[in-house]
A and B are shown apart, each in its own frame.
Chain A
Amino acid sequence: EPEVTQTPSHQVTQMGQEVILRCVPISNHLYFYWYRQILGQKVEFLVSFYNNEISEKSEIFDDQFSVERPDGSNFTLKIRSTKLEDSAMYFCASSSPQGMPQETQYFGPGTRLLVL
């Protein structure tokens, strides 16, 4: 069964450093997403991406964040200058082989980011 994959599984970085989190969505899906979950808190939407552009972003997704689909398979989240409060689990998700934004989202295993 196709699944969303993410690398790395764990990332430790120093405050102020740039990190890139990588995702390979399910191959026939058209919508891609990033979410984060701070330890003990709820899953929070960051950004959605469709047709090679951002379709929606939350208040969390400020100028320090960017997303990119550099080729036909990868989808990346870049945090330009990490802060302590960026420490969280980051989940990639994909959906919509039919191109409908309401469709089920399937989540990758996550990247645990720790900013020191």
Chain B
Amino acid sequence: QKEVEQNSGPLSVPEGAIASLNCTYSDRGSQSFFWYRQYSGKSPELIMFIYSNGDKEDGRFTAQLNKASQYVSLLIRDSQPSDSATYLCAVNMMTGAGSYQLTFGKGTKLSVIP
């Protein structure tokens, strides 16, 4: 069974702090990795994607990928109360049929305290 694991939280950080969200995945052949944000009752909203080892920065967000450790992380700098949401790690895993299937973790609930 191909899995994506996340700490469910809740993760509480004070406003202005750095929030660090982590994710591990089981399929070593995975090639594309995504972070989505989901507010309660809403659909997943893309935050970032990363394909290569290393860091990728976009504004206050930095995604980090380590394929050897099968580990993806998301850093949110200068956290704001509006960042309070559930963050979903998703990994595009190749199936036995040679196609791809996006597999989600359960999500980490982030709470930014004013």
Contact size class for B? 20 to 34
Choose the segment among A43-51, A62-70, A73-81 that binds chain B (4+ C-beta atoms closer than 8 Å).
A43-51
Choose the segment among B16-24, B58-66, B70-78, B98-106 that binds chain A (4+ C-beta atoms closer than 8 Å).
B98-106
Chain A residues, Cβ within 8 Å of B31: 102
A106, B46: Cβ atoms closer than 8 Å: yes
The A-contacting residues of B in range 79-111, CB under 8 angstroms, are 88, 90, 92, 95, 97, 99-107
CB closest chain-A residue, reference B45: A107
Give the docked Cα–Cα distance between A56 and B99 (Å).
Answer: 7
Give the docked Cα–Cα distance between A33 and B103 (Å).
Answer: 12
Q: How many residues of A contact B (CB 8 A)?
A: 22
Give the docked Cα–Cα distance between A55 and B100 (Å).
Answer: 9
A58, B45: Cβ atoms closer than 8 Å: no
The B-contacting residues of A in range 91-116, CB under 8 angstroms, are 91, 101-110
Give the docked Cα–Cα distance between A63 and B106 (Å).
Answer: 27
A interface residues with partner B (beta carbon < 8 Å) = 33, 41-45, 48, 55-56, 58, 89, 91, 101-110
- Determine which of B42, B100, B105, B107 lies in contact with A101 in the assembled complex, contact meaning CB atoms within 8 Å: B100
B interface residues with partner A (beta carbon < 8 Å) = 31-32, 34, 36, 41-46, 49, 51, 88, 90, 92, 95, 97, 99-107
Chain B residues, Cβ within 8 Å of A105: 34, 102
- Kindly provide the distance from the CB of B45 to the nearest chain A CB, expressed in whole angstroms: 7
CB closest chain-B residue, reference A92: B43
Give the docked Cα–Cα distance between A105 and B32 (Å).
Answer: 11
Chain A residues, Cβ within 8 Å of B95: 56
- Determine which of A41, A89, A102 lies in contact with B100 in the assembled complex, contact meaning CB atoms within 8 Å: A102
A56, B97: Cβ atoms closer than 8 Å: yes
Chain A residues, Cβ within 8 Å of B104: 42-44
CB closest chain-A residue, reference B31: A102
- Determine which of B34, B41, B102, B107 lies in contact with A33 in the assembled complex, contact meaning CB atoms within 8 Å: B102
B92, A56: Cβ atoms closer than 8 Å: no
